[in-house]
Structure 1
Amino acid sequence: MRHRTTGSTARTGIPDRARRFGPRGRAGATAALAVLAVTTAAGCRAEVTGSVPADRPSSPRATASDDGGSAPPPSPTTPAPPSPSSSPPSPTATASPTPKPDPQGRTLMSSGSQGGQVRELQARLRQIGHFDRSPTGYYGTVTVAAVQSFQGKRGLSRTGRTDTLTWQKLLDMTRRPTAGELNPPTTRPVAKPDKRCLTGRVLCISKNSRTLSWMIDGRVRSSMDVRFGSQYTPTREGTFSVYWKSRHHVSTIYDTPMPYAMFFSGGQAVHYSADFAARGYNGASHGCVNVRDEGKIASLFDQVKTGDKVVVY
Structure 2
Amino acid sequence: MSLLLLGGCAAAPTAGPAPAGGESAPAPQPSVSTSTPPATPPPPPDPLAHLSAKKRKQFKACLPKTVRAGSSGDCVTLLQSELKEAGFYPWSKTRYVGVAGANAILNYQRSRGLDADGWVGKSTWLALATNAPTVSKELPKTCYTKGVVLCVDQAHRTLTWLKDGKVVKKFKVRLGGYAQHAKTHIWRNFPTANGTWKVYDKQVNPYSENYGSGAMPYSTMFYPDMYVHYSPGFSSQGYSQSSHGCVNIRKLSDAIWIFKNTPIGAKVHIFSPKATA
**TM-score of the aligned structures, taking structure 1 as reference length:** 0.38
**TM-score of the aligned structures, taking structure 2 as reference length:** 0.43
Question: RCO (CA 8 Å, sep 6+): is it higher in 1 or 2?
Answer: 2
Normalized per residue, the structure richer in helix is 1
Larger Rg: 1
